[in-house]
Structure 1
Amino acid sequence: MNNPIPAEATVQFMNLKKEAAVEPDPVSTKPVTKETQIIAIYGKGGIGKSFTLANLSYMMAQQGKKVLLIGCDPKSDTTSLLFGGKACPTIIETSSKKKLAGESVEIGDVCFKRDGVFAMELGGPEVGRGCGGRGIIHGFETLEKLGFHDWGFDYVLLDFLGDVVCGGFGLPIARDMCQKVIVVASNDLQSLYVANNVCSAVEYFRKLGGNVGVAGMVINKDDGTGEAAAFAERAGIPILSAIPANEDIRRKSANYEIIGKPGTEWASLFDMLGENVAKAPPVRPKPLSQDELLGLFSGDQVGRSVVLEPASLFDMVGKVELHKDSLEVIYDKA
């Protein structure tokens, strides 16, 4: 006898279904009061976006720029390196607690700073209890109530998960909320697949009248094999920096240590990246087809020699396939 589904689970499922069907609320498009570059950074999960952004934002602040780093990943790990591994209270979590207490969210509840870098996390719902994309939308709605469009930053860096293609994560591209996009990738097929998807999204919305472009690519964990550089060339986007696959970088990053500090071994790397990010104009990318993407790799790496072999009924049910006449009625021509 099958166990009945608990009523609570059924209600939760129905609520999730309703939530997923709701269209995002319109996002404010009023101009900012200061010429602010809003840059969305996309990449495959685990490719090193948070590492790149923590060090980039830190170096840009040391260059005299006023920088705001916003984590837009439900994992809420964008600012962990910047704050030495400490968890930053998220906007969604704080907003919920404040609402239950009948209080309003203040800047100091959600925005924190270190050595000139301002940072915050949008956060996301608990696992299985909500839509991460709508969490992003809710987070930006809260930012607008806090006066986001009046803040006087030189640069706002948005850290987005590139694997997800739902509306919430594509918000900056779809709604012209940023001026340009940067992709972080490495010399592997999966990260370049994600980078190509982001380029496809940018191109799609450009055809619909959008203005967002791709400023370039950061190659992280570069082992020198060249696939990421070849992709950037084919897609028509510049390489802003190539961060080497280096044990010292890996170890320091794992220990929540900022390596993009002036006067340190890796300072010049992030100093140049900061300058390139600031100056790089948004360009219209040329996304690759699946075959073109696979063509960047040797056949033994991606299995291009595999031939599609059609399955038979015998494969499926262990019986010889019998021909059956059609039951369709065919009328003689008059």
Structure 2
Amino acid sequence: MKIAIYGKGGIGKSTISCNLAIALARRGQKVLQIGCDPKHDSTFTLTGFLIPTIIDTLQSKDYHYEDIWPEDVIYVGYNKVSCVEAGGPPAGAGCGGYVVGETVKLLKELNAFFEYDIILFDVLGDVVCGGFAAPLNYSDFCLIITDNGFDALFAANRITASVREKSKTHPLRLAGLVANRTYKRDLIDKYVEACPMPVLDILPLIEDIRISRVQGKTLFELAESFSNLNYICDFYLNIVDQLLSVPEGVIPSELTDQQLFKLLSDFYLTNQCCDQSQIKNNVLFIE
């Protein structure tokens, strides 16, 4: 099974991806996580360091694919999760999306795509064009990370549109949403009522999750020393149990931008959740 993980930039995709990778490994799966971001820090908490990237390796081999072996680009992290970082060009130069496409091409040539039970694509922000949409071409499911705020749901809606479009030519389905760093889900519920899709879990705002990222370890690794963290690991185990049940998934029908704005504006008006000065002509303006 191949799962592409998308969501608003800074929403916590890499932290969730790494912990999901370990949760899957704990369920007996052979897992490969592919970081699809020029920052190449997706797998940091799995390996404990910034591993060399695909683009670095290709450059060192003068782009001779035949000279590259799996061990040149695949690093084994905690709990035997395999890790790859696509990398990217220098800031302000070239196309990071192109590198993602080349990464997929190289891994297929190395037959790495076929040696794992689960492949996780941790994809840059909410960019769903060009090479950054490439993981959707190879995935069975897309998993969207959001929170209970407007910006994250706006990004989720754009990703939803990409899943619908890609599903026309690929066997791709939306597995659903995972909400991160939130105790409330009222806006999420309002959105999925208008745009039906599963909500796999709601991860509350827990400082230990942020600290684990800073420490360069997954929560599962930290929980070996601090048993009070086990309850957080259960969130991730619950999500992977739903994914491993091979959900049917959905082909979503996204809202238009205007529909989404109106939906959330009406919600705020009804619930008086914001300063009335922010609402004009029944449209919510986000400062």
TM-score (norm 1): 0.73
Report how far residue 60 of structure 1 moved.
Answer: 1.0
C-alpha distance in 1 between matches for 2:17 and 2:69: 25
- Could you tell me which residue of structure 2 aligns to residue 220 of structure 1? 180
Give 1:281's aligned residue: 248
Q: Is the 8 A contact 1:217 1:237 kept in 2?
A: yes
1:256 partnered with 2:216: yes
Q: Which residue of 1 aligns with 2:46?
A: 82
CA-atom RMSD in angstroms: 2.4
Deviations 1:144-177 (A, max 9, x none): 221234x32111011112432321111233x3x1
- Runs of 4+ with >4 A deviation: 100-103
**SS of residue paired to 2:121:** strand
Find the counterpart in structure 2 of residue 5 from structure 1: none
Task: For 2:188 and 2:51, locate their aligned partners in 1 and report how far apart those are by CA, in whole Å.
Answer: 33
Equivalent residue letter for 2:156? A
CA distance in structure 2 between the aligned counterparts of 1:244 and 1:70, rounded to whole angstroms: 26
Distance in 1 between residues matched to 2:65 and 2:242, nearest whole Å: 45
Unaligned runs of 5+ in 2: none
Selected match of 1:137 from 101, 108, 113: 101
Q: In the alignment, which of 109, 118, 122 is matched to residue 159 of structure 1? A: 122
Quick one: structure 1 residues 137 and 188, their matched pair in 2 at CA, closer, same or farther if it must change by over 3 Å?
same
Q: Which residue of 1 aligns with 2:54?
A: 91
* Residue pair 1:179, 1:282 contacting (<8 A) in 2 also: no
**Structure 1: runs of 5 or more not aligned:** 1-36, 309-334
Contact 1:260–1:270 under 8 Å retained in 2: no
Superposed displacement of residue 306, structure 1? 5.7
Q: Which has the higher helix share?
A: 2
1:231 aligns with 2:191: yes
Aligned equivalent of 2:90, options 104, 126, 131: 126
Aligned identity (percent) is 32
Correspondence 1:185 to 2:149: no
How far did residue 199 of structure 1 move?
Answer: 0.7
Counterpart pick for 1:111 among 53, 62, 74:
74
Write the distance in 1 (CA, Å) between the matches of 2:275 and 2:239.
31
State the distance in 2 between where 1:46 and 1:202 align. 21
Over 3 Å counting, the alpha-carbon distance change for 1:101 and 1:152 in structure 2 is closer
User: How far apart are residue 56 of structure 1 and its match?
Assistant: 0.7
Residues 26-41 of structure 1: pairs in structure 2 closer than 5 A? 37-41=1-5
Give the structure 1 partner of residue 21 of structure 2: 57
TM-score, normalised via structure 2 length: 0.85
